[in-house]
Structure 1
Amino acid sequence: MTMLDDQRISELLRSAPVPEPRVDVDRAIRDGRRRRQRRRVGGAAAGTVLAGLGVVGAVQFGGLAREPAPATPALAASPTVSTPTVSTPTAPASSLTCEASWLPQPIRGPVAVTIGVDPTGRHIVGEIGTGNEDGRVVLWTDGRATLLPASVRHGSAVNADGYVIGTNGDGTGWVYRNGSLRTLTTPPGYDAVLLHAINGRGDIAGTARGANESHHAVLWSVDRPQEYRLIGRPGSTATGITEDGTVVGTMGDLPYRWTPQGAGKALALPDGSPHASVESARGNWAVGMVNGAKKGGAVEMLPVRWDLTTGAASLPPFPGMAEIAGNGDLLVGDGAPLVVSPDGTSRRLPGRPDVRATGAGTYTAEGISDDGLTVVGAVYENEGYRPLVWRCTRA
């Protein structure tokens, strides 16, 4: 586990100050850290076998307990197609030119990282801190840094209008824009929420958590943060939302999608996989994780990609897959980030902008714009992280 993973996951959903907290937040944090590590290492064996992937969000609610089967049968999933491991051709050097540049740091901190980028590539959200649960949320817009109020923690996403969302350590969801900070209503019967994604319409997708490992997918709006709409049935999670309002997440053990009108349908599972998690969605695509083979008593975690138009699932041959763009480009954050187009061509992103130190350090990649031309990440070196952005132009 790196300092980056600790910084990203720590303090999420700490229990409310009541005599007998009903949310096992410590367990959620541990499980979230395991999941973040699985996402980073991709094909490496995870230290813990997850019994119920259906309850996975950006941080797992309630840990390893498997949810019971839905009370009513799930709708039939679309056919699945498995993609074999293949060599990836490299895109011609003349087609795109990519350059890295540092993002300014408004405060000091050895752990300065990006978390995501909006679909246009203008707005970037990140954190700066010591790696000890004290990260301040930062918004970079067109290269200019804005430090969000000290009262908020753990930004998770930003949309094209610059609305930033996140979840404080006490399980309170928040939305921020241009100096205005508002909290989101936690649905009655639940103790905490975890916000995952926001689209250009201002729809916010997340999950509410209550007693006895209960959880439910929720939608909010930036215009009416005190109102909410529960999605699906109890036992659902919402981890992503597209620009047209399609929500992705899980229902029990199954990867799921809901139309903007709320109609739900299970996504296909790769051959031989009884369950899967969905992490995010952009355009007509969604990505997540699925159990692979056992190795040394642990389960190998594999990336999975869904075509939301057809519902088909495939297993991309890139264990370090981090995100997908609206145009279908895959972002692979494997220490030397790679962008892979739907046609299989790829490009390696260049090293740090310091000419004399090109290639130094270990790179992470966290987010990609919908056109695939902007990627955000960080460099780890000298026991610290420094945020940067890659911007590409077409020849």
Structure 2
Amino acid sequence: MTTLDEERIAALLQSASVPEPRVDVGRAVRDGRRRRQRRRIGGITAVTVVAGLAVVGAVQLDGTTSRPAPAVPVLAPSPAGTAPTAPVAPINCEASWLSRPVGGSVAVANRVDPTGRYIVGDIGTGQEDGRVVRWADGQASVLPAGARHAAAVNAGGDVVGTNGDGTGWVYRDGKLRFLATPPGYQAVLVHAVNGRGDIAGTASGAGDSRQAVLWSADRPQEFRLVGQPGSAATGITEDGTVVGAMGELPYRWTPQGTGAALAVPDGYPRASVDSARGEWAIGMVPGAQRGGGVQMLPVRWNLTTGAVSLLPFPGASGIAGNGDLLVGDGAPLVVAPDGTSRRLPGRPEVRATGAGTYMANGISDDGLTVVGAVYENQAYRPLVWRCHR
């Protein structure tokens, strides 16, 4: 990491306020895709996502508040973590391109499985013609055309997602199957799958009704409703813990189905949970009004201790099972629970020309594999960072 990077990290960690967001290419792509993915389903609008952190009918973080948002504290180690007592070997990372088995100017790697072996993404023109691609040990395969907008992949290579019409799907053992939509609802939005094949998502219906749902990858026509009406599921851990929302509160459910609200940072009225890995979860709270809109601030939960931390970064695009936070702000950064960080390098040929804006979307459980894309010459090209000690 360069002196400039070290100074930037120190400024971030010591600042009591969130810096102005940089141009986030990844977020712009996701927001554009969300706008294009609106569909009329049975008289309601269902919103599907390609790689974003959103929920059908989820907590409405519109930030309509008349009081100033509280100041953002500095990033502190989790109460569950301790500072290292011995020197830690440096981590070296290299970026490499992922192959493109189909054509398209928008080619993005969106998610990686906990082990770092499987990667999923989308390749197309950005006009709702994208194909889902799964890379396994660097080899690419294209999923059937009936699968669109992959949301997650597990350590077994199972891929899940949601089509533009609100139909959930799972690709397993070379077969594409569709998930049941619970009676009384008209669409689903799939978010996550764990190693056991448990799939988490949210069903939506008329009048903004919604409920968290679990499916099984090997029995996709069976489902189990989670919590009460008004709930939403956005993530699931390897042990079956589900995270999401109940009304406007961030929520978690144990594998046995017992639910409880997660803490909200002091001074903030509500929060949303976006994803979870291991004992960690990340989400957002509404901050101050900025230019007619609301600045969304990232937060992190320790699901074991219940502690919540407001993070001094413009945004967070992923969380690893070991607690490493992925900040994909155009020059991606990985921040450990103790506050130490490392900047991910660019590709040599891109860095040499001074071109390229990077987006990082997913991180493995050990924090050593990160996936995303680089934008240059009016196109997005998928890549993976592999790190080692």
TM-score (normalizing by structure 1):
0.82
Question: Is 1:163 the counterpart of 2:152 in the alignment?
Answer: no
Aligned counterpart, 1:23: 44
Count of aligned residue pairs for this structure pair:
348
What does the per-residue CA deviation read over 1:41-91, in whole Å, with 9 as the maximum and x for residues that have no partner? xxxxxxxxxxxxxxxx6244289599xxxxxxxxxxxxxxx9722699xxx
What letter corresponds to residue 58 of structure 1 in structure 2?
A: A
Secondary structure in structure 1 of the residue aligned to 2:39 = coil
CA distance in 1 between partners of 2:313 and 2:291 (Å): 21
Aligned counterpart, 1:243: 238
In the TM superposition, what is the alpha-carbon distance from 1:359 to its structure 2 partner? Answer: 5.4
CA distance in 2 between partners of 1:249 and 1:376 (Å): 24
The answer as to whether partners of 1:125 and 1:157 remain within 8 angstroms in 2 is yes
TM-score (normalizing by structure 2):
0.83
The answer as to whether partners of 2:368 and 2:386 remain within 8 angstroms in 1 is yes
Instruction: Choose the corresponding residue for 2:73, options 79, 84, 94.
Output: 84
CA distance in 2 between partners of 1:207 and 1:87 (Å): 33
Question: Is 1:300 the counterpart of 2:300 in the alignment?
Answer: no
In the TM superposition, what is the alpha-carbon distance from 1:150 to its structure 2 partner? Answer: 1.1
Secondary structure in structure 1 of the residue aligned to 2:337 = coil
CA distance in 1 between partners of 2:33 and 2:139 (Å): 22
Secondary structure in structure 2 of the residue aligned to 1:226 = strand
Aligned counterpart, 2:210: 215
The answer as to whether partners of 2:282 and 2:318 remain within 8 angstroms in 1 is yes
Question: Is 1:4 the counterpart of 2:29 in the alignment?
Answer: yes
Secondary structure in structure 2 of the residue aligned to 1:354 = helix
Structure 1 segment 125-164 matched on structure 2, within 5 A: 125-164=120-159
What does the per-residue CA deviation read over 1:304-347, in whole Å, with 9 as the maximum and x for residues that have no partner? 10010111111111223111100000011011100011111111
Structure 1 segment 350-369 matched on structure 2, within 5 A: 350-354=345-349, 357=352, 360-369=355-364
Structure 1 segment 1-395 matched on structure 2, within 5 A: 4-5=29-30, 8-9=33-34, 12=37, 14-16=39-41, 21-25=42-46, 28=47, 58-61=54-57, 84-85=73-74, 95-354=90-349, 357=352, 360-394=355-389
CA distance in 1 between partners of 2:36 and 2:291 (Å): 31
CA distance in 1 between partners of 2:351 and 2:373 (Å): 18
Q: 1:8 to 1:296 in 2, by over 3 A?
A: closer
Query: For the aligned residues, what is the CA RMSD?
Result: 2.6
Secondary structure in structure 2 of the residue aligned to 1:280 = strand
Aligned counterpart, 1:46: none
Q: 1:272 to 1:137 in 2, by over 3 A?
A: same
Q: 1:176 to 1:7 in 2, by over 3 A?
A: farther
The answer as to whether partners of 1:283 and 1:327 remain within 8 angstroms in 2 is yes
Runs of 5+ consecutive residues of structure 1 not aligned to the other structure = 37-56, 67-81
What letter corresponds to residue 73 of structure 2 in structure 1?
A: P
In the TM superposition, what is the alpha-carbon distance from 1:170 to its structure 2 partner? Answer: 1.3
What letter corresponds to residue 34 of structure 2 in structure 1?
A: I
Runs of 5+ consecutive residues of structure 2 not aligned to the other structure = 1-23, 63-70, 78-86
Q: 1:324 to 1:94 in 2, by over 3 A?
A: same
What letter corresponds to residue 39 of structure 2 in structure 1?
A: R
The answer as to whether partners of 1:9 and 1:59 remain within 8 angstroms in 2 is no
Q: 1:260 to 1:83 in 2, by over 3 A?
A: farther
